[in-house]
Amino acid sequence: MSVKYKIGESVDTILTDIEGTTTSISFVKDILFPYIRSNLESYLTKNFDDDQCREDLRLLINQSRSDFLSFGHQVPQIKENFENKTELIESALANIKWQMDQDRKAKPLKQLQGHMWQLAYKNGTVKGHVYEDVVPAFERWISKGFKIYIYSSGSVEAQKLLFSYSDKGNLLKYFSGHFDTNVGLKTESQSYLNILNSLGKSGEKVLFLTDLVREAEAATQAGINVCVLRREDNPDKERKQFDCVNSFDEI
């Protein structure tokens, strides 16, 4: 193991991203999201009368109204008529696929996706990808007294599913907590200040691991230490101003 980044002596907490950091971008892009697209219609049809599914649809309906006010007629509207199952589902499919095409991070969309992934993980259709170097690093860091937290744009529920049903087994025992976009967007420095406030920590106590420079910049503005991952499928090349490693083995 060749160490390229030495964790500062003041650091006692490691905050890590998921996509492109602990987990391959291709897993999210080529497995998780295509699963939603392929199974969306059958999922909504089968679960239409369930309370959870109906609540997801109500939230999506409200989101489509809000989006219409912001973006206009380009937003497919969901027909709010639970008496007409076919019409509601068809309009919901159009709206959800539009949101996914725009790479939206809206909470109602994330909630529905989380519920669908929950089913896929639990029935074994999907297993969360975790890089080979991640678990040994978690073991190493925890043995040295560090606490590990996750911060991802995916919901806390989706994070827990990925690590509960990972290809390395159930990894939840390694984490002291999880953060998602309820604390703010990952490209905004205020989000990291919110995390520091939640942890009761100053920035110098925390190391943030990410693959994206915009996130690294936001964390740095909040006073947090940053190390950027250069995984093989990461698209972000503008990393020169940050300490970089190729894997967790180098930290």
pTM (2 d.p.): 0.84
**8, part of any domain:** no
Domain with 55, as residue range(s), is 29-122
Round the average pLDDT of the chain to a whole number and report it.
94
**7, part of any domain:** no
Binding residues for substrate: 152-153, 186
Q: How far apart are CA 241 and CA 229, in angstroms?
A: 13
Q: According to the model, what pLDDT value does residue 105 have? A: 81
Judgement on whether residues 162 and 212 belong to the same structural domain of the protein: yes
Number of domain units in the chain:
2
The three-state secondary structure class of 175 is: strand
List of long-range contacts for 82-91, beta carbons under 8 Å, 24+ apart:
82/54, 82/57, 85/45, 85/48, 88/57, 89/41, 89/44, 89/45, 89/48
Instruction: Give the domain CATH number at 161.
Output: 3.40.50.1000
Binding residues: 17, 19, 152-153, 186, 211
Binding residues for Mg(2+): 17, 19, 211
Judgement on whether residues 157 and 81 belong to the same structural domain of the protein: no
**Two tokens, residue 32:** 């998780």
Strands 175-179, 13-16: parallel, antiparallel or unpaired by DSSP? unpaired
**pLDDT tens track for 111-123:** 999 899 999 999 9
